[in-house]
A and B are shown apart, each in its own frame.
Chain A
Amino acid sequence: MSIGHTLLGLLESGPRHGYDLKRAFDEKFGHDRPLHYGQVYATMSRLLKNGLVEVDGVETDGGPERKRYAITDAGITDVAAWLAQPEKPEPYLQSTLYTKVVLALLTGRDAADLLDAQRSEHLRLMRILTDRKRQGDLADQLICDHALFHLEADLRWLELTSARLGRLAEVVAP
């Protein structure tokens, strides 16, 4: 996820202080990992250097000085371009699970047990996410759903693999 573009996007609704930006980001997107203030500061100075934001004003009411940032026209164009650009789908071609299964087969260990254990773990996480989704708001639900669908896809792969373990063993056998 591009933090720069996200912060730029948040600035489009009006100028904000750096701390405001961090709070807004955490609230909307940072469920699991809140931003460090340093990260905000570093990003903003990069954007400033590239001319995508400008300093709107500085406040010093008693404390340390706080810059207010505003987005520039170039910044708006940059956000628009980013949003219009489709994300490249993850190819998921390098799978640790696949590697584990093949290794288990090669070393004569029980691959089915491995898959079952993984299945249980996946489902456990799904239950947690489902529970959170039930208590959360719409944003929570959407984020959890995103994760749930991915986990479900993994689970389907696990099911399919356990159904084909026999054939896979023949193929990978030395």
Chain B
Amino acid sequence: MTWLRDLGLGIRFAAAGGREGWARTALTAVGVGLGVAMLLVASSVPHLLEQRSLRDQAREEAAVSRTEGGVPKSETTVLRAGAATVYRGREVEGFLMRAEGSRPALPPGVTAFPAPGEMAASPALRDLLASPEGGLLKERLPYGITATIADEGLRSPGELYFYAGSDSLTPATGGHRLAAYGDDTPGTPLTPVLVVLVILICVVLLAPVAIFIATAVRFGGDRRDRRLAALRLIGTDIRTTRRIAAGEALFGSLLGLLAGLVFFLVGRRFVGHIEVWNHSAFPSDLTPAAWPAALIAVAVPLSAVLVTLVAMRSVTAEPLGVVRGSGIRRRRLWWRVLVPALGLAVLGLTGRVDEFTPVDPYPIAVGAVLVLFGLALLLPWLVEACVNLLRGGPPSWQLAVRRLQLDSGAASRAVSGIAVAVAGAVALQMLFAAMGDEFKQITGQDPARAQFHTYSETVGGDAATRTIEAFRSTEGVERVIGTVETYVTRPGKVEEGEITPTTSLSIGDCATLKELAEIGSCEEGDAFVVHPRNNKRMSDWMDETARKGKEIELNPTIDSNPGARSVRWTLPADARTVTAAPDPLGEEHWGIMATVGAVDPRTLPAARTVAQIKVDEDVKDVAEHVRNTAARIDPAMRVAALTSVTRDRQYESVQTGLRFGAVATLMLIAASMLISQMEQLRERRRLLSVLVAFGTRRVTLGWSVLWQTAVPVVISLLIATAGGLGLGAVMTWMLAKTVTRWWLFLPLAGAGGALVVAVTLLSLPLLWRLMRPDGLRTE
């Protein structure tokens, strides 16, 4: 068991190497620890998502109350209506609730049913309402907070959620009867496209972490090699020194594991305060899954030892010094090209995937991963090849280039993380952009016309008028069109296979109707048949329902619901047929239009008050004012923003998140580059002093440090951009989309540039310090 003894000796060296030995071990431990903490967070994601969806489902209505025809009223049933809203871009979810009996069912996290005018709110909502920031929201949710929703009733700690008590909610005004909570139907699985995206995101964000860990294990390697040389002098053989080095690496990485665990546990306590994409997590949600955690615990020390042994292969610790063989060994190209080529081949063979057919996502993921890692493999060769081509230039450039020519290995290793992160992020962003832009094309909504669309199921006699007036007097609103709308049908049976003739009925005051059609004169009690312009077929179809002087069925559910009560209305024989006119928002409306005097909206069994609102977007918080007005009219009124803003923001947030993730990994890499740079400078302390004695300008050496970082980073950014664009294009093609934005790599390239500058600037103070003449003193 000599090797066990040697490993132990290595551990002792790492632990008892004096101040310098500890510094090196600590550096490795912190580096590995950061990486491990990130890996632990990543391995907690499945548990996090599972817990969230469990809590989410627990507060959904139970399947039992969703049966055909609904559940009967009982002591435990509750009427509720969704009252979700958006406040300054953040979603606020909640319900209006009315107990129908004395023992109403309670949602999770709530101990007492909220009385009318009161509400149970999540802690985050409570805090928001209490702060000046939430002033406008307070107007919208004017309920007294009597209870706080406990954690088990919330998806995440930062969620804005409430249950408000109501005394006016009825089934007729949108109240839905519910008997119990807890939805146990299984959720829909992720679509294949999403699976591919998720796998790619993991690779992009975690591969640099792995590379960072591998770099961290090598921290202080030069000093270690010299110590091993000293050991050789007193008679240890090469294999023993390797085992001792392995022991040191093992110790450092084990400490790193511990540090990672500590970082993770400490960081977890603050996780509730951090919001990403409007989401946060409970500390208890961040529990690493068992097998990835076990894998981390085994793989990190193991790879630390392997990396050390591989690194030592090119270094021979001879008794009288360290001999480096790296300068002689040329890097071979063929097997490095093989890996990305294989990846592309896998992708090519998989062919196109569409969004709905279930496909095996794994070949795609494997292909993408191979391409990304292939780039990392290709990089050292490319850096070497490029650097060997560089010639001439001023002394600072010459110093940097020659240094890289002598040993580009360390530089390539550090920047290979950049290559993977940037290439992956570029590819993913292209994919997201393609998907996002396509979504916009589908909706085709034009926010230049109306930005908000509201509808409410509370229909009163003056509903439409009141709604219009309320919105018109709202700050920032430019135009409003408000009507009460329903679908109407031709009474009587139709033949099998035929469709019941249907059209719409819009009820509004004369002023509103005049804006929708070329009515001319209008008096209270009038009704009109409005034909679309230039659409004969639609006009004919309408006329099958809108027969003047004949009855019309006003209950649209009459055919589908056998118990429904028929409500008939006779279209006056003197109703005029007119042509639709584009409304002030640019849209065309047709169908039957009637004044309130002709049809009393209160008689309609199923109708909605609908408003379209155009606002002046320059007015601050205009959206909040509109939503507040809506809530005042009817707390359960839905307000939809017609712009594709919501959906866009989602893509935007994924992109931002990705960008942030990539930047975070870049920073991690910058940190490791900085440490190697400082190590290298310290090694060259004497040489630097000599150069100063010569009268070398500080600027010259500063530039040389800059070039030394910049050259490999620029090469890696070039290959990452090329590779990322290629991969992005191929994957976009595979998902049957078109590349819409080619320039998404620019911010990342910028971040790479910033990284170079940051590493240089941060190593300058040390350089300045080492350039003092103290290094010349030998006595």
Chain A directly contacts chain B within the complex, with at least one CB pair under 8 Å:
no
B interface, CB within 8 angstroms of A:
none
